[in-house]
Amino acid sequence: MTAPERLRAHLKEPGLVVMPAVWDGLTAKLTAAAGFKTAFLSGSCVAASRLGGPDLDLLSFGEMFDSFNMVHAAAPDLLVLADGDHGYGNAMNVQRTVRAYGRAGAAAVLIEDKITPRALTAAGKPCLPRDEAQMKIRAAIEAAKESGICVLARTDCRPTQGIDEAVARIEMYVKEGADILFLDSPADDDEVKRAVAAAGGKPSFAVLSPGAPRACPSQTEALKLGFKIGTYPTGMLSPVAAGIKAGLAALKAGEAEAKTALPPPELRAMLGYAEYDAQAKPFIVKA
């Protein structure tokens, strides 16, 4: 089965699908080792790791695609939903983005309706007119036929244009053939329920990390509300940042490592030194 076929089958299984947010080979490898079948290549996590900065449309397609290739190489069986952002341009750019991820082995790709480049502020996400957003999703669905990659259609218009427009867009995306639907920034459970109903039985996706001004249910609550997929962009990123800060603090204090550091044997085992030696053994030139 292809990655998209495996994802579609997985989404038919009961329960909430938890997608940890990954950004490089190490996070992908650890996610797969922990037993997760799926992961979200998060634009916010890639921006944090590559740029040391915020997720404000500063990343290029090339940088995101390079990050996907690192993730896929480190954990080839992991079903990855790639963050395609706004497609990096018009409808034709969207098609290039979708085709590239499909050929490279992604299980799904996210395409959203916000305007790019965004206004020079971190507040708000002005979105495309509805007909332009429709053409982007239509282009994505058409391009996805080549590889079978799943298309997640996201609308960011709730904060700027209201829940009625957001629900109308979800219904439109369903008619266009989107596989997964995503209402960004629902204000409360009632808005979540409206968005899930508008998806017409297709899987609904949610960001469940705390901190943002939006509804943030627990995993149990998310399942009861009708969500099928939940991702956690800060789930690993925040602890990793805390760990780096702890390591730096330990060095400044004259210590060799933080108290939370992995023991050296565990770190080497996790990184696969023994596996490397075993795989390299047949190629060693004998004296």
Cis peptide before 76 (omega within 30 of 0): no
Instruction: Give the sign of the dihedral formed by CA 146, CA 176, CA 212, CA 57.
Output: positive
Nearest to 140 by CA among 107, 171, 168, 102: 102
Domain 3-240 has CATH 3.90.1150.10: no
Task: Give the model's confidence band at 233: pLDDT under 50 very low, under 70 low, under 90 confident, else very high.
Answer: very high
List pLDDT tens digits, range 16-59.
999 999 999 999 999 999 999 999 999 999 999 999 999 999 99
What pTM was computed for the model? 0.95
Q: β-strand 79-83 against 38-41: which pairing, if any? A: parallel
Instruction: Count the alpha carbons within 13 Å of 283 in the hemisphere toward its beta carbon.
Output: 5
pLDDT digits (tens, 9 = 90+) for 184-205: 999 999 999 999 999 999 999 9
pLDDT per residue as tens digits for the range 260-269: 999 999 999 9
Strand (E) positions, 133-243? 150-155, 180-183, 205-207, 229-232
Indicate the domain borders of the chain: 3-240
Structure tokens at 154: 């996201």
